[in-house]
Amino acid sequence: MVKLSLEFLGSGTSVGVPCIGCDCPVCTSTDPLNKRLRSSALVRGYDAAGNVATTVVIDTSADFRQQMLRAGVRHLDAVLISHHHADHVVGIDDVRRYNALQNAPLDCWATPGTLATLRQSFWYVFSDVDYVRWGLPCLRPRPIAHGQPIEVGCLRIEPLALDHEVIQNTGFRITCDGSAALAYCLDVKRIPPESYARLKGTHTLVLDMLRETPHPTHMSLSEALEAVARIAPQRAWFAHIAHEVDHRALEARLPPHIRVAYDGLVLEIS
Ligand SMILES: [Zn+2]
Ligand SMILES: [Zn+2]
Ligand SMILES: [Zn+2]
């Protein structure tokens, strides 16, 4: 029975795929698997009857509005923000539709450093009041710490430190009602030893894999394959993918337990 699911709202890198002004084979491809919005994901926890009990979004990407319309999301229980890079946060203004629909503020979970940077860029989105301010997003800042799990509805979420080279990023290890563990680790160049320890026993791993050639702040194909081998999940999905990667061409070269994510893909965990 499914206890937990993750839907890829976007599987692309910061500029999306296709990129503006590019005529490469992937950007001009007609294959829908090569169309990638900016990275974010929807996580749902289910009750014993199989109904959705908790829905959270990881990151409010630059394509947030389009993604939530496409996924048909009418209710959110919380927002998790991995880090403050623009591709992961600039859609934050559109959470106000959920404030209006639910007539309530929404919890926004992030590290104190990410919350502070969000306050600088989007000073008006946070509020400590208990009512919805008309026309404005209304997020309650909720600090998280790496290695200290939080509970959001039926979801247990453990924030993990990730080394993104220019800043520290946050990954998430998620379970629901004793389910197998799903881990979402994007925007990472190196996984610190303490996070490798916490990723032990992960069933389904979502991992940063930008492209084949090395990049200063993201894992390349060889680095991602090495990390998957070390964590040894049942299955792994590569995401945050750049336009150098043709979906079908890469998948054909990967072992069967490692796949390439695409927009709209839903992973289910029991
Ligand atoms: Zn990113
Ligand atoms: Zn291109
Ligand atoms: Zn980033």
C-alpha dist (Å) from residue 249 to 25, 35, 88, 113, 218: 12, 15, 27, 39, 21
Q: What is the mean pLDDT of residues 137-166?
A: 98
How far is the centre of ligand 1, averaged over its atoms, from the C-alpha of 92 (Å)? 15
**Listed range (4-13, 126-135, 237-246) with the worst mean pLDDT:** 126-135
Three-class secondary structure of residue 66 per DSSP: helix
Ligand whose nearest atom lies closest to the CA of 241: 1
**In angstroms, rounded to a whole number, what is the distance separating the alpha carbons of residues 71 and 82?**
20
Three-class secondary structure of residue 256 per DSSP: coil
Residue 246 contacts by C-beta under 8 Å, 6 or more apart in sequence? 25, 26, 29, 31, 34
The tens digit of pLDDT for each residue in 152-208 reads 999 999 999 999 999 999 999 999 999 999 999 999 999 999 999 999 999 999 999
What is the pTM for the complete model shown? 0.98
Residue 41 pLDDT exceeds 90:
yes
The tens digit of pLDDT for each residue in 196-254 reads 999 999 999 999 999 999 999 999 999 999 999 999 999 999 999 999 999 999 999 99
Residue 104 contacts by C-beta under 8 Å, 6 or more apart in sequence? 132, 138
Ligand whose nearest atom lies closest to the CA of 168: 3
Asked if residues 106 and 95 have their Cβ atoms less than 8 Å apart, the reply is yes
Looking at the chain, which runs of residues are DSSP E strands?
4-10, 40-46, 52-58, 78-80, 106-110, 139-143, 150-152, 155-163, 168-176, 182-185, 204-208, 235-239, 258-260, 266-269
**In angstroms, rounded to a whole number, what is the distance separating the alpha carbons of residues 51 and 115?**
32
Residue 128 pLDDT exceeds 90:
no
How far is the centre of ligand 1, averaged over its atoms, from the C-alpha of 171 (Å)? 12
Listed residues: CB within 5 A of ion ligand 3: 85, 187
Q: According to the model, what pLDDT value does residue 78 have?
A: 98
High-pLDDT (> 70) share of the chain, %: 100
| Chain position carrying tokens 């430190």 | 161
| pLDDT confidence bin for 129, thresholds 50/70/90 | confident
How far is the centre of ligand 1, averaged over its atoms, from the C-alpha of 82 (Å)? 9
| CATH-assigned architecture of domain 4-269 | 4-Layer Sandwich (3.60)
Ligand whose nearest atom lies closest to the CA of 35: 2
